[in-house]
Amino acid sequence: MKLSIIDQSPVPEGFSPADALRNTIDLARLADRLGYARYWIAEHHAIAALASPAPEILIARVAAETTHLRVGSGGVMLPHYSSFKVAEAFRVLHALYPGRIDLAVGRAPGGTPLDTLALRRERTRAPLPDDFGQQLVELAAWLGEGFPADHPFSKIAISPATAGAPELWLLGSSPWSGSAAAQLGLPYAFAHFIEQRSTRTAIEHYRANFAPAVPGARPYTILALGAVCAASDAEAERLLMSARLFRRRIRQGDVRPIPTPEAAAAELGPMPEPAPGGLDGGEWPRYFAGAPERVRAGILAMAEDLRVDEVMVVTIVHDHQARRRSYELLAEAFELKPRP
């Protein structure tokens, strides 16, 4: 099974956002050597715990620092932007690194309502129309065969004009996104680490209703989940405390950097026994934590049950060296082929 990474560029408490961005570059180099397939970079705004509001900038640097990885966005929050501008930016990346760039888009805000207002060019407080579907269709046209002859945009020659284009993906965490990806014939990445209750529904609906955009196209699914690997189950659970508190804080509007496991344990107190069916009523937990074989078994059971094509892993811990080691152990457990 293909194994990939999604990186939110976490900022550990006691370190700077610049440190977090350097950690992203360091981890991408390691992932390239370990044999991971893709390295996607998330987009979040005005969150002190996460250092990547502009994935297209980091994609350029990460692609320059690696050789084999497909590098992409996980994802660009399209409602904030013009589809034309996003297509131009990613066409530049494709021209620089042909055959290696993924453009995964989503419709989540990536921040608070106030952040969304600040991102708008039009600053009225009235809600804007939800035209995400139209944006997606336009973006696919800018990246693909273009617009019909009677469309006004058909007169625009997009730049840079190069052979091929970035691969367009839809990223989502709801049944709506699975339905949209199926209708447009796009590959689909489901963010299980964000919303676990809709995972099966969204993925199965996508597969059952997939309409090929081009002859021979088939549905392709990535399952994005959290994982922490360590030498022992106990150590992995200790490291996971940071992610547990980070998630609780985010739900409460607290965007402070990632706490140490010790600070997290002190604030969270004793953890309750896991509820049947995983946290928050889902079939599986958002995070798999433990020694490598335990994590591998959990991920494989879920991936095989859902019949996904690829698994993408996010790891939020305080210690960057522990994060590196988690991905090393995961690569060994899944027998990824190292690259020179």
User: Model confidence over 66-112: pLDDT tens digits?
Assistant: 999 999 999 999 999 999 999 999 999 999 999 999 999 999 877 78
As a dihedral over the C-alpha atoms of residue 280, residue 281, residue 286, residue 290, rounded to 10 degrees, the angle is 100
Task: Map out the domains of the chain as residue ranges.
Answer: 2-333
Give the pLDDT score at 275. 41
Phi, psi of 22 (to 5 degrees): -65, -35
CATH class belonging to 2-333: alpha beta
What would the two tokens of residue 236 be? 């992995």
The Cα–Cα gap between 13 and 248 comes to 16
Give the pLDDT score at 325. 98
**Residue 76 · residue 147 · CB < 8 Å:** no
User: DSSP alpha helices (H): ranges in 35-104?
Assistant: 55-65, 83-96
Instruction: Give the Å distances, CA to CA, from 149 to 145, 164, 269.
Output: 11, 21, 63
Phi, psi of 130 (to 5 degrees): -85, 90
pLDDT at 279 over 80: no
What would the two tokens of residue 307 be? 């019949």
pLDDT at 125 over 80: no
Q: Roughly how many angstroms between the first and final C-alpha of the chain, as a whole number?
A: 20
Give the pLDDT score at 130. 77
276 band by pLDDT with thresholds 50, 70 and 90: very low
User: Model confidence over 132-142: pLDDT tens digits?
Assistant: 989 999 999 99
* Mean of per-residue pLDDT scores for the chain: 93
The Cα–Cα gap between 315 and 10 comes to 9
pLDDT at 268 over 70: yes
Average pLDDT over residues 23-35: 98
What would the two tokens of residue 36 be? 């991971």
The overall pTM is greater than 0.75: yes
Give the pLDDT score at 281. 54
User: Model confidence over 149-190: pLDDT tens digits?
Assistant: 889 998 898 889 889 999 999 999 999 999 999 999 999 999
The Cα–Cα gap between 222 and 236 comes to 24
Give the pLDDT score at 117. 82
131 band by pLDDT with thresholds 50, 70 and 90: confident
Residue of higher predicted confidence among 113 and 34: 34
Give the pLDDT score at 128. 65
Give the pLDDT score at 126. 63
pLDDT at 248 over 90: yes
Average pLDDT over residues 221-244: 97
Give the pLDDT score at 48. 96
Give the pLDDT score at 142. 93
The Cα–Cα gap between 97 and 188 comes to 22
For residue 5, give the amino acid letter. Answer: I
What are residue 102's DSSP bridge partners? 72, 167
**Residue 38 · residue 102 · CB < 8 Å:** yes
Average pLDDT over residues 212-228: 94
User: Model confidence over 9-19: pLDDT tens digits?
Assistant: 999 999 999 99
277 band by pLDDT with thresholds 50, 70 and 90: very low
Give the pLDDT score at 253. 92
What's the number of CA atoms in the CB half-sphere (13 Å) around residue 284?
A: 27
Give the pLDDT score at 254. 94
3-state class (DSSP) for residue 184: helix
Task: Give the torsion sign (CA, 296, 297, 303, 304).
Answer: positive
